[in-house]
Amino acid sequence: MTAIRNIVILTGAGISAESGLATFRAEDGLWEDHRVEDVATPEAFARDPALVQRFYDLRRAAVLAAEPNPAHAALARLDREWTGELLIVTQNIDDLHERAGAARVLHMHGEALSAWCTACNTRHRWTASLSGDPPCPACGSPALRPDIVWFGEMPYEMDRIFAALADADLFVSIGTSGAVYPAAGFVQAARDAGAATLELNLDRSLGSRLFDETRLGPASVLVPDWVAGVLRR
């Protein structure tokens, strides 16, 4: 068995589904009530900021009401007990990894509980509504937007992510459909680096054939099982 020291984990909406947060592309998913181009692009925000702020006000409230599930808890356990390198790259804007106790987490698509001032380029923890143009706590400008990476914008910390992938021995993708790039390309980058690749998902992702192994089932079962196994090695 090859020794594993460096692990990169990619999480998507599926890991938070059992915490009651809707995924994006399921039949009852988030995009069902909203066309993606109406809410998740900079052009949509320029066209109708009130609609976009309302959408993310609801998302923020849902995040605050949600609780971590056993899958988040298992990754927090891995973070505590794994002595090698670990990076949990999440596409999710919720803070459930952190609330479960994980520290080595990177939010590549931004965070629901953060507001970004486009006037002075500062970021602020934000749990209230952003509707009605509240002033930026730093500069007073009514220029706060959700700190979310929309389509056409550059995800956060790509250099750090690709550096971790280049050093990875194991890449694990959890609860993501593989429909959105660049995250959907991480499995290929990990393969190119010689890493083993594992998918944990309810249904196969679009890039499923690129994984060495796929385990199908709910994250609340698969992730604790996998973590227990990797910590036993």
Q: Kindly tell me which of 126 and 169 has the beta carbon lying closer to ligand BJW.
A: 126
Q: Please give the residues from 27 up to 46 whose contact with ligand BJW meets the rule CB under 6 A.
A: 29, 40
The rounded distance, in Å, linking the Cα atoms of 110 and 60 is 12
Residue 176 backbone dihedrals phi, psi, to 5 degrees:
-135, 145
- Yes or no: say if 36 and 115 are a contact pair by the CB < 8 Å rule: no
Measured CA to CA in angstroms, residue 116 lies from 42, 123, 128, 222 at distances of: 13, 5, 14, 35
The residue from 95, 109, 171, 198 that contacts ligand BJW (CB under 6 A) is: 109
Closest separation in Å from C-beta 5 to ligand BJW: 26
Residue 70 touches ligand BJW, criterion: CB under 6 A: no
The residue from 44, 52, 126, 175 that contacts ligand BJW (CB under 6 A) is: 175
The three-point CA angle 22-28-34 to 5° equals 80
Q: Given the rule CB under 6 A, which of 80-88, 130-138, 190-198, 199-207 is the region that contacts ligand BJW?
A: 199-207
Write out the residues near ligand BJW by the rule CB under 6 A.
12-14, 17-18, 23-26, 29, 40, 91, 93, 109, 148-155, 158, 175-177, 179-182, 201-203, 205, 218-219
- Catalytically active residues, by annotation: 109
